[in-house]
Amino acid sequence: MNIIELNNVINEIDKIGDDVWLSSLEDRKLKELEFHNKDRDESVVIELKANDTYEEFYGNKKYYNVTKRSSGYVEDWIEVRCKSGGVFLDYACGNGENAMKAAKAGADLALGLDISNVSIGNCRQSAADLGLENTRFFQADAENTKLPDNSVDTIICSGMLHHLDLSFALPELRRILKPGGKLLAVEALDYNPAIKLYRYLTPAMRTDWEKAHILSLADVAFAARFFDIGKTKYWHVVGYVAGKFPFLRLPLELIDKALEKIPYVQRMAWIFTFELIKPQIKE
């Protein structure tokens, strides 16, 4: 399928009316839609800051200030995969940062889909502001994207697989990815007891589904039913502490570089990344 044909398919997806769209979503997805519309609405954020309730809903944002190493790895991965063109998909794209990075890196077409219409509106505005003409953002169900079979070369799944039912999401990802195509998943890991306690103590920051489905290595084993597993890396075993105590960032990064290589200890990481590769069709 060429770029023109793929754009035509997305045009048809865009024509789906709100009544049809909403009626197609089960209760857990409607809750995700409501949560992420609120999460991505800048006016809500401003209101929360004015009422001094920002920390209750967004207090975890400060910890992402310590993810420079893992974020750099993801950016490099996108650049390498997109420099030769192809179709890139930012799957459950949020505000679309990865799709726009792919567009700048050389993707012929960088797509972003998300359940949140607020997110898609943000993405379209940002892409227009940046003058990126090789992007398309559209509202869709990540477990039923309506994209054609074998239509995408590269997919990034950044912090969103735990929002989905993997028994639907993984087959869908395999369906739309071209043979030989690669997917990079960036996820929180569900082993560190301190991080698990923090999640328990901050319920307003997550949906009920999300809290119950943080990924483990058992989920990677499940993904192996649909994909070949590529490189797996572990990040920020102790470095997240610098989110609370920024002056510790550099020494904790040095400690992390050692801990991330030690079997079993590495499972205490906050974040892990893993590649999924769709096997080539055997002739």
Q: What's the pLDDT at 1?
A: 77
- Residue with the bigger pLDDT between 61 and 277: it is 277
Mean pLDDT of the chain: 93
Output DSSP code: residue 214: -
Element (H, E) at 180: strand 177-188
Query: Is residue 264 over pLDDT 60?
Result: yes
User: Is residue 157 assigned to a domain?
Assistant: yes
φ, ψ of residue 71 in degrees (nearest 5): -65, -40
Q: Look-up: residue for tokens 């995408």?
A: 152
User: Is residue 233 assigned to a domain?
Assistant: yes
User: Is residue 27 assigned to a domain?
Assistant: yes
Q: What's the pLDDT at 49?
A: 63
User: Is residue 283 assigned to a domain?
Assistant: no
183 contacts 236 by C-beta, under 8 angstroms:
no
**How far, in Å, CA of 39 to CA of 58, rounded?**
9
pLDDT per residue over 208-231, tens digit each? 899 999 999 999 999 999 999 999
User: Is residue 160 assigned to a domain?
Assistant: yes
Query: Is residue 18 over pLDDT 90?
Result: no
Number of structural domains in the chain = 1
pLDDT per residue over 27-55, tens digit each? 999 999 999 998 888 776 666 666 666 66
Helical ranges in 106-240 per DSSP H: 117-130, 166-176, 193-201, 208-212, 217-223
What Cα–Cα distance (Å) separates residue 213 from each residue in 31, 82, 161, 180, 208? 15, 30, 9, 28, 9
142 contacts 119 by C-beta, under 8 angstroms:
no
Q: What's the pLDDT at 19?
A: 87
Q: CB-based burial of residue 66 (10 Å sphere; 0-12 exposed, 13-18 middle, 19+ buried)?
A: buried
Q: What sign results for the dihedral spanned by CA atoms 110, 116, 122, 125?
A: positive
Whole-angstrom Cα Rg for the chain: 19
Q: What's the pLDDT at 51?
A: 65
Q: What's the pLDDT at 11?
A: 96
Pairing, β 109-114 against β 271-277? unpaired
Q: CB-based burial of residue 131 (10 Å sphere; 0-12 exposed, 13-18 middle, 19+ buried)?
A: exposed
Pairing, β 87-91 against β 109-114? parallel
pLDDT per residue over 51-68, tens digit each? 666 666 677 888 889 999
The least confident of 221-225, 272-276, 278-282 is 278-282
User: Is residue 18 assigned to a domain?
Assistant: yes
**How far, in Å, CA of 132 to CA of 130, rounded?**
6
pLDDT per residue over 92-107, tens digit each? 999 999 999 999 999 9
CATH number, domain of 150, equals 3.40.50.150
pLDDT per residue over 107-136, tens digit each? 999 999 999 999 999 999 999 999 999 999
The neighbouring-strand residues paired with 175 are: none
Supply the range of the domain harboring residue 218: 3-277
- What string of DSSP letters covers 6-62? HHHHHHHHHT--HHHHHHTS-HHHHHHHHHHHHHT-HHHHHHHHHTT-HHHHHGGGG
Give percent above pLDDT 90 in the chain. Answer: 82
Query: Is residue 139 over pLDDT 90?
Result: yes
Instruction: Specify the pTM.
Output: 0.94
Q: What's the pLDDT at 21?
A: 86
User: Is residue 282 assigned to a domain?
Assistant: no
